[in-house]
Structure 1
Amino acid sequence: MWRGSQFKETKLIILVDVGNSRIKLCELNNEDINAPFNSTTADADAALRIISVSKPSQVLVSAVSDEQFCERLQQLCKSEQIIFRRLGTASCNTNIQIGYQRPEQLGVDRWMAVIGAQELFPNKNLLVVDAGTATTFDLLSADNRHLGGWITPGINMMISALYRNTTQVRGAITTPDSLSFADNTSDNVNHGCWSMTVGAIQFAKIQAQQLGVAVDLIVLTGGNGEALLPHITSDAYYEEKLIFIGMAKCIDLNR
């Protein structure tokens, strides 16, 4: 349940994560930006209503999609005299050395997840996997070097593409409990696509080892992140709000 009016004596800050599939909002207050967050998922109109009613002091946005919504949100903040800040990859003061040749090309959602993972597990070699519409991989060394990563189709995207581009392969999109060899086409597709992602995670660890970075922990987030957790044989941790934890490190309390 959204509780935008819960902070009576402190300033409310709302973080907005605009992904390829959904808009998520997270609220926190300026007195303890590390407090547990209250978050919700909303469509564009509902998100704007929430912000208008809640009347936060600041809105921070991490967006990889829906520029029209971002423009509407900026106009709302201007009319309501709310500080609006659109985060970019270089927006946060962080001690992480970015591993992209052109930092502006690294998706801000990935960068916020990396910052969030470092906040949760400092001084560790981390493989950060965001299993959403796309599945992204980012390697962060214990000495705070971002060593690049991968982008692959998300699990549901792989399954949908296979159904769409074949004549006789048909079935549903499911979240399997087991990735065993299956005895029907639908489970063959689902188990196979989930296994491909699990295999990619394990191979990413091998690639990291070849760089001299032994992964201490796999940090999972995204819509399929929690469901991947039981299939990962290495040490792994799931954090639904990883991007928001990273975004919280970008808050300027002096504004």
Structure 2
Amino acid sequence: MRILELDAGNSRLKWRLLNNGHIVSHGFLVNSEDWQHELPKLLDQIGQVDSARAAIVSGDERFALLSAAVNQHFNVTLLKAEVKEECRGVQVAYAGLGVDRWLAMLAAHHLDWAENKEPCNKIVVSCGSAITIDLLSDSGNHFGGYIVPGVGLMKGVLHTRTAQLPMVEPEALTIMPGTSTAECINNGILAMAVAMLNSRQTQYKTACGKECTVYLTGGDATLIQPYIQGECYHHPALVMDGLSFAFEQEGR
């Protein structure tokens, strides 16, 4: 069984191909690329699939485009992941939760069993265009979370909404005080993101009286990970893994 999985985010379309449950290839397309040209080329390279499923946070128009392309190339229906109030032991805190956050929590909740670990309280963090933070108990109860601008978005806002601050492209190398305008922007934004995550980890630990583990995913995860206090794991495919869990539950 060859299954195509798609994660359509705000910045990139990530994809991977499963063959009998094993990942055989993966990659991404940047959303700014010419989709009418690049997407058909990608689907041609992937070859025939038996099923396709997707997580979409970039809007109905993007799903319609992907669905039409997948159906044209493979003659299969693109299945769309939908948030469920309770699924595979994870119970969400409120309606309207983003599907990417839900899938990441599904995957994080099941990593304990997959990796033979004791169940633990978790902070599930996606470090992308936005930074999303979700608190998840060892039993799968979602206690809510936070959504704040991501590192790149914060840099862009400083540049566009101030008269003289530059757009800083390179990644920050430290959270120490900067000695130039570019370093002050870079290091300061990274320090803000790190401080928020560490403070939430401390608060959650204090509230529940247990240690909690941070699970990071998203493009800026490797930038943030070195500064996180306590146990922290980087799982680049967390949303994709959650996509598999969600559809396995339904037998598709």
Structure 1, residues 85-137: CA drift from partner, whole Å, max 9, x if none?
Answer: 1111129841111111x2xx100011111111112125111101100000000
* Alignment pair present for 1:73 and 2:66: yes
CA contact (8 A) 1:126 1:216 kept: yes
- Structure 2 alignment gaps of length 5 or more: 114-118
Greater fraction of residues in strand:
2
SS at match of 1:113: helix
Out of 14, 21, 28, the residue aligned to residue 4 of structure 2 is 14
Q: How has the CA–CA distance of structure 1 residues 78 and 178 changed in structure 2, closer, same or farther, with 3 Å as cutoff?
A: closer
Taking the TM superposition and a 5 Å limit, the aligned residue runs for 1:116-155 are: 116-122=107-113, 123-155=119-151
CA contact (8 A) 1:25 1:47 kept: no
Taking the TM superposition and a 5 Å limit, the aligned residue runs for 1:238-253 are: 238-252=234-248
Structure 1, residues 208-232: CA drift from partner, whole Å, max 9, x if none?
Answer: 1354263421111101001111111
**Whole-angstrom CA distance in 2 between matches of 1:239 and 1:55:** 28
- Segments ≥4 residues shifted beyond 4 Å: 252-255
SS at match of 2:247: coil
State the Cα distance separating 1:76 from its structure 2 match: 3.2
User: Counterpart of 1:47?
Assistant: 39
Report % sequence identity: 25
* Alignment pair present for 1:95 and 2:89: yes
**Structure 1 counterpart of 2:89, one-letter code:** N
Greater fraction of residues in helix:
2
**Structure 1 counterpart of 2:39, one-letter code:** A
Q: How has the CA–CA distance of structure 1 residues 64 and 191 changed in structure 2, closer, same or farther, with 3 Å as cutoff?
A: same
**Whole-angstrom CA distance in 1 between matches of 2:189 and 2:4:** 35
**Structure 1 counterpart of 2:75, one-letter code:** Q
Q: CA RMSD in A?
A: 2.1
SS at match of 1:249: helix
Out of 176, 181, 202, the residue aligned to residue 177 of structure 2 is 181
- Structure 1 alignment gaps of length 5 or more: 1-10
Q: How has the CA–CA distance of structure 1 residues 234 and 210 changed in structure 2, closer, same or farther, with 3 Å as cutoff?
A: closer
CA contact (8 A) 2:6 2:14 kept: yes
Q: TM-score normalized by structure 2?
A: 0.87
**Whole-angstrom CA distance in 2 between matches of 1:139 and 1:37:** 32
**Structure 1 counterpart of 2:11, one-letter code:** S
Residues paired across the two proteins, number: 239
